[in-house]
Chains A and B, each alone.
Chain A
Amino acid sequence: METTIINKLNNELIDSGEFDDIVIESYNKGIADKCLAADHFFARSEIPPGTAAKRDFSYIAPDIPEYLASKCTG
């Protein structure tokens, strides 16, 4: 892919840095719904890779279920 297209892609579709700083940060703070405007990036709603790593869902079901092999079927 030509450099110019990569730049165009980054500029028009996603700005990874801005996505981290603004979008993920807003979701992490719980203010995304109210604060994020219907801006240019929302139009395509493309998401950069690996963003899940930047969200903290550790409070959801923090306990790992116990594996009981004897109760498995099949």
Chain B
Amino acid sequence: MKDSGKITKVFPFPGILTTCDGSDAIVWVDTNITQGGCAYPITPTTNMGALYQLAIANGHKNLWGESLQFIEPESEHSSASACEGFALAGGRVTNFTSGQGLVLMKEVLFTISGKRLPAVFHIGARALTSHSLNVHAGHDDVMAVSDSGWGMLFAKNVQDAADLALISRRAAEDSYTPFMNIQDGFLTTHTIETVRLPEKELMEKFTGKPEKKLLNLFNPHSPVMTGVVQNQDSYMKGKIAQRDYYDKVAEILQNAFDEYYQLTGRRYGFVEKYRLDDADYAIVAMGTASETAMASVDWIRENQNIKAGVLNVTSFRPFPKKEIVYALKNTKALSVIERLDIPLAADNPLTAEIKSSFADALINELKDGDSQKISRIPQIYSGVYGLGSRDIRPGHFISIVKNMLEKNKKFFVAGVQHRLSIDEPFDPDIRAEGTFCMRGHSVGGYGSVTTNKVIASLVEEIFNLNVQAYPKYGSEKKGLPTTYYLTVSKDPIRTHSELEHVEFVPINDVNAFLSGSPLWGISEGGMVFIQSSKESPEEVWNDIPEHARKTIIKKNIKVYYLDTVKIAREISTRSDLQQRMQGIVLLGIFLKVTPLKDEAHFTDDALFEGVKHSLMKYFGKKGEKVVDENLQAVKRGYYEVMEVPSSVKTEFKQHSIELTIL
């Protein structure tokens, strides 16, 4: 296809443009291509199992018209065993797990790989419970099972998670090797992003009908004994002979990457190089941090004139020794950052394998025999970051590069104060021009998280913009403070960090000013919305603490208010939905006060048509009445929200002044 003189390649399956989180993406793929799932619920992959079961309950069939099956046994260990049985019987099976659940499976993972069963398990990588429990992102769970003979692919965002679900399935079945498709817990599993989901036709073509691809070892007409006992005469022979399978995995995976690119235009590989061709300094990472690093090195190059680059390691198993050495060998230094810490090891696992790869290359022993012998090894720094979803931000990457420039700490930590810390108190706003960010401060159970998802979906569908929406989940649930984030941009959104540079701050309870700093990082001329039952702007203003009022005046921030609780009570006929519906009112307020509608030249009618479509996506299954009530809530928020006028916004409380006069 020719476009402005350039020849643009057209790919047959560009994907279905939509918004969803990493869990939705996996369920979209696996309810279409698998025949069954066996899983035990564990945060943050519970959603995947629940949505898979929901599809079954709704009578969903896979692409070949087969009914799906789901088994939820009594533990993750049993769920892995159930998958083993399913796969032995020639079924295409899936599993969703995380953290302790994955570690509990470990015994079974070896038998699945040993029997060459090409299952694919989807992992929401989560920190393991050690000194305390944490349900958020960590890589110690997946690294704890990295010796079990499985392929391991890491997604850096929702798009990767969807695509790698197919690529890992194809590679698994072509190589008779099970694969884990890994995404960061919550940071990807629960983050709504703009994504191109694989078309059904693509999935059917790329994976093929299960019965034509898989071996049934439980067929009574062709019986075999599997998983036998072997002694000194045989066991080692079998274990060594498995190398015949493993030696082919890399080539098969490469073929899957290549064919997927030809079909979709989306290129994946063992590693993803970003601005490394001329880089002096490199950051090496896996998962979401890689993409935040990519956005950060753009800023570093432009503002600090340092040639920095990023290597995103997509395939940890098979480990791409050759590709990593080739990508990094010309750098002066590289920092390998890892979302886990194993203090008694020689190094954390990715660092250790990269050092091993360079050592092999130096003595010209790279496996393929086609490597160039290298004469030097770059300085290799190793760092720990993001344990339990500890925020990793552009400022950290600036510090990591500075640490290499100054030849400072060979082992460091990013994100906490410690003797090994390298953090600098500098965190620039690296967002693309025109990016709009919202950080909401609410209470769990108020519907704000759902509203955030609806807003993200709406913004993508109506305004054709890229979105990223996620809440700062805690283990705690309803009734406690919740923070949620939304980013809207014309450009792809690459940072996976908490939002500290924002334009709009909705606050569901004015008491948020007392327990935190909700105005932190708000831009000059930004906006605040406060849920308030007060009727006059003076009363609303007087409820705001003095320190916050000073910030509002200093930064010329607009203050909006409305009693969304009252509106929700007036609209909803169901008491159980009233609490949640106050969040939906915020959607109307968002549309009113943000510049998106005006920039897109939308009429109110066109806007609300789009709103209804998005509401259908989230509430359609609850019935038309619920959708209509939500739409009414949005409209009331849109038309009834009020602004505290400038004349009211004085630094001192009105009643204080009155007292003085008296």
Closest residue to B227 on the A side, CB-wise?
A45
Mark contacts of B210-244 with chain A using CB atoms, 8 A cut-off: 1 yes-contact digit, 0 otherwise. Answer: 01100111010111111010101110111011101
Mark contacts of A5-16 with chain B using CB atoms, 8 A cut-off: 1 yes-contact digit, 0 otherwise. Answer: 110111011100
Closest residue to B219 on the A side, CB-wise?
A1
Interface: A69 (CB within 8 A): no
Q: Which of A1, A32, A40, A46 contacts B241 (CB 8 A)?
A: A40
Q: How far is the CB of B117 from chain A (nearest CB, A)?
A: 10
Interface: A37 (CB within 8 A): yes
Knowing A38-B236, A42-B238, A45-B230 touch, does A9 contact B215 (C-beta < 8 A)? Answer: yes
Mark contacts of B411-425 with chain A using CB atoms, 8 A cut-off: 1 yes-contact digit, 0 otherwise. Answer: 000000000000000
Chain A residues near B61 (CB-CB < 8 A): none
Closest residue to A51 on the B side, CB-wise?
B225
Chain B residues near A38 (CB-CB < 8 A): 236-238, 240-241
A36 engages B237 (CB within 8 Å) = yes
Interface: B602 (CB within 8 A): no
Chain B residues near A48 (CB-CB < 8 A): 223-225
B237 engages A6 (CB within 8 Å) = no
B225 engages A46 (CB within 8 Å) = yes
Knowing A1-B222, A13-B224, A36-B237 touch, does A43 contact B245 (C-beta < 8 A)? Answer: yes
Closest residue to B236 on the A side, CB-wise?
A38
Interface: A21 (CB within 8 A): no
Instruction: Give the CA-CA distance A17 to B588 in the complex, in Å.
Output: 74
Interface: A47 (CB within 8 A): yes
Instruction: Give the CA-CA distance A42 to B236 in the complex, in Å.
Output: 9
Knowing A1-B216, A8-B215, A13-B215 touch, does A42 contact B237 (C-beta < 8 A)? Answer: yes
A43 engages B244 (CB within 8 Å) = yes
Knowing A1-B216, A45-B234 touch, does A6 contact B222 (C-beta < 8 A)? Answer: yes
Q: How far is the CB of A50 from chain B (nearest CB, A)?
A: 9
Q: Is the interface of B mostly helix, strand, loop or mixed?
A: loop
Instruction: Give the CA-CA distance A33 to B232 in the complex, in Å.
Output: 8
Chain B residues near A40 (CB-CB < 8 A): 241, 244
Interface: B115 (CB within 8 A): yes
B224 engages A32 (CB within 8 Å) = no
Q: Within A24-43, which residues are at the interface with B (CB < 8 Å)?
A: 32-33, 36-43
Number of A-B residue pairs at CB separation under 8 A:
76
Range of interface residues on A (Cβ < 8 Å): 20 to 34
Interface: A65 (CB within 8 A): no
Chain B residues near A2 (CB-CB < 8 A): 211-212
Interface: B156 (CB within 8 A): no
Interface: B549 (CB within 8 A): no
Knowing A33-B233, A42-B238 touch, does A47 contact B222 (C-beta < 8 A)? Answer: no
Interface: B77 (CB within 8 A): no
Interface: A44 (CB within 8 A): yes
Chain B residues near A42 (CB-CB < 8 A): 234, 237-238, 240-241
Interface: B501 (CB within 8 A): no
Instruction: Give the CA-CA distance A51 to B240 in the complex, in Å.
Output: 24
Knowing A13-B224, A33-B233, A38-B236 touch, does A43 contact B215 (C-beta < 8 A)? Answer: no
A sample of 29 inter-chain contacts (CB < 8 A) reads A1-B216, A1-B219, A2-B211, A5-B211, A5-B215, A9-B215, A9-B216, A9-B217, A9-B222, A13-B215, A13-B217, A32-B233, A36-B234, A36-B237, A37-B237, A38-B236, A38-B237, A39-B237, A39-B241, A42-B238, A42-B240, A42-B241, A43-B238, A43-B242, A44-B115, A44-B116, A47-B224, A47-B228, A49-B225
Q: Which B residues are within 8 Å of any A CB, using their own CB?
A: 90, 115-116, 211-212, 215-217, 219, 221-226, 228, 230, 232-234, 236-238, 240-242, 244-245
Interface contacts beyond A1-B219, A5-B215, A44-B116: sample of 8 additional A-B pairs, CB < 8 Å, sorted by A: A1-B221, A9-B215, A36-B237, A38-B240, A41-B241, A42-B234, A44-B115, A47-B225
